Structure 1
Amino acid sequence: MNIPDTEGRKVRFVAMPYQKQELPIFPCKGTEPWETEFFEKATCGIIERYKWFKGFPDANLGFATGLNCFVVEANYPNGAVSLALLEKQYALLPETAEVRIGSGARQLFFYCPCDKPIQSSINQLGEGITVYGKGQFVLLPPSIQHNDEPNKWRTSTPISDAPRWLIELLSVLLINKGS
């Protein structure tokens, strides 16, 4: 995925370049989805996107996670420490698409195997780490989420496949959570 240039652009003009990335998106009012069934209605289709963002020109841009992609968010400051500990214990995470949100948190985007949907979790990978998986969403740049600062792509790196160790760790955590 090539990251669209979002710097200084309004969300409605960015929704179309995301079309090439085949990311399921939907409009949000602030940090909440405009539609109650956002996950089912998130679309990669250009016609639906055009209608939505024409009808909601000031909407933020929601991205439905868990379909083929999930996001690991390292909240400031504890999440950065926890992420570093995970990388020390297992292996470095690959370079991947990364968003910096207004709170200072880092959001790392990863593709996941279709046969293993990633479930969402809070603090299960470590203190300050949130995983946005099946049934959740994040706001894509240039959406405004915290401190009136727009979310920004930190890198232009394409989304990478999640490393095997991360998928396996998330699977184990899900099994342990269910028992």
Structure 2
Amino acid sequence: MIIGELLQMAGGMSRREAAITLARADIPVFPCIPGGKRPLTPSGFRDATTRDYLVYRWWKRWPDANIGMPTGPKSGFDVVDVDVRGDESGFAVFQQALSAHLADGEIARIQTPSDGMHVYYWTDVAQRCWQAAGAHIDFRGDGGYVVVPPSVLNTERGPIAYRVTSLGKRAERLDAVALRAFVDPRPVPMSHTRSTGRTSTAALARWVSRLQEGERNRGLFWAACRLFETGTSPRDAMATLVPAAQHAGLETPEILGTIRSAWRNSSAEPYGPKFTAFANPAARDRRPGSGPCLS
């Protein structure tokens, strides 16, 4: 049973029953204050466990405690938090990310007490948490946690529970780097507003090569989008950006993934063999009958 179905079932349980059920399903949990999100244990989400006897003890001591779940590889789930603040929310931006195929593969959607939304994705890699305050989108990955159903928060409207609103049809890993670059794009450098022609393309490559840690993936995503929007082929984009991004300190698999996401975001035709042939040398060199076909 996947987590969406578990959380849906947990909606009809007590918090202690739900916490034990999740722990027995190998989903680590920890207690948070009743009606709130602050952890009750000394090390917070780092204390999360699947040992049901410890979970039983916690909720025997704090029967009304809310249930926290660490995000990232520890639980196997990343979460996109679509926030609502007054008249502003992240729903429109998240819908745009869905339309750009940058948020596909969700497992479940959870309505939060603030009328926001937690969107769950499967993961087996560590992707750092980030916040895009202007877009009202947060990403909870490695080093983060969320409160899960049937937990209840005390709000101005009274106690309101987290609840499952929909389940996804397939589970995919979210590319948090590409999503962040999309929802929180870098300002366009004025000197690079034109990315056609040999000189400006070279200038764009130089700009990518000088990006610092914390801005490299977003900058690479932006630069790749600019190239693809002007009709640059995957081959030429790879030739321009891969060496520059390597010089900036990015690893090749990360570079290819970011450029692939930019191609998917910028091109009307979905990436597939046309892109894969350039992004995967092994696939490019493969001859018919020499190995499994690319899907």
Q: TM-score, normalising length from structure 1?
A: 0.83
Q: Given the alignment of the two structures, is residue 17 of structure 1 paired with residue 24 of structure 2, yes or no? A: no
Which among 87, 93, 112 is matched to residue 82 of structure 1? 93
Q: Given the alignment of the two structures, is residue 38 of structure 1 paired with residue 44 of structure 2, yes or no? A: yes
Distance 1:91 1:167, change over 3 A: closer
Amino acid aligned to 2:178: L
1:1-179 equivalences in 2 (<5 Å): 1=2, 2-4=5-7, 5-29=9-33, 30-66=36-72, 67=74, 68-76=76-84, 77-91=88-102, 93-114=104-125, 117-123=126-132, 127-147=135-155, 148-157=159-168, 160-163=171-174, 166-169=175-178, 175-176=214-215
Q: CA deviation at 1:80?
A: 0.6
For 2:16 and 2:40, locate their aligned partners in 1 and report how far apart those are by CA, in whole Å: 14
For 2:140 and 2:26, locate their aligned partners in 1 and report how far apart those are by CA, in whole Å: 18
Task: Compute the RMSD of aligned alpha carbons.
Answer: 2.7
Higher helix share: 2
For 1:177 and 1:51, locate their aligned partners in 2 and report how far apart those are by CA, in whole Å: 45
Amino acid aligned to 1:119: R
Q: CA deviation at 1:84?
A: 1.2
Q: CA deviation at 1:55?
A: 1.3
Is 2:31–2:40's contact at 8 Å kept on the other side of the alignment? yes
For 2:170 and 2:32, locate their aligned partners in 1 and report how far apart those are by CA, in whole Å: 23
Q: CA deviation at 1:127?
A: 0.1
Higher relative contact order (CA 8 A, sep 6+): 1
For 1:146 and 1:155, locate their aligned partners in 2 and report how far apart those are by CA, in whole Å: 23
Distance 1:143 1:158, change over 3 A: farther
Is 1:110–1:161's contact at 8 Å kept on the other side of the alignment? yes
The runs of 4+ residues in structure 1 deviating greater than 3 Å are 156-159, 170-175
For 1:169 and 1:94, locate their aligned partners in 2 and report how far apart those are by CA, in whole Å: 15
Is 1:97–1:159's contact at 8 Å kept on the other side of the alignment? no
90-99 or 143-152, larger mean C-alpha shift: 90-99
Is 2:79–2:119's contact at 8 Å kept on the other side of the alignment? yes
Amino acid aligned to 2:58: W
Percent identity between the aligned chains?
A: 21
Is 1:111–1:159's contact at 8 Å kept on the other side of the alignment? no
For 1:161 and 1:24, locate their aligned partners in 2 and report how far apart those are by CA, in whole Å: 20
Distance 1:97 1:159, change over 3 A: farther
Aligned to 2:187: none
For 2:152 and 2:51, locate their aligned partners in 1 and report how far apart those are by CA, in whole Å: 23
For 2:113 and 2:180, locate their aligned partners in 1 and report how far apart those are by CA, in whole Å: 30
For 1:159 and 1:58, locate their aligned partners in 2 and report how far apart those are by CA, in whole Å: 33
Is 1:16–1:50's contact at 8 Å kept on the other side of the alignment? yes
Stretches of structure 2 lacking an aligned partner (at least 5 in a row): 185-212, 218-247, 249-295
Distance 1:90 1:7, change over 3 A: closer
Stretches of structure 1 lacking an aligned partner (at least 5 in a row): none
Is 1:3–1:157's contact at 8 Å kept on the other side of the alignment? no
Q: TM-score, normalising length from structure 2?
A: 0.53
Is 1:103–1:146's contact at 8 Å kept on the other side of the alignment? no
Is 1:25–1:64's contact at 8 Å kept on the other side of the alignment? yes
Distance 1:44 1:38, change over 3 A: same
Q: Number of paired residues?
A: 174
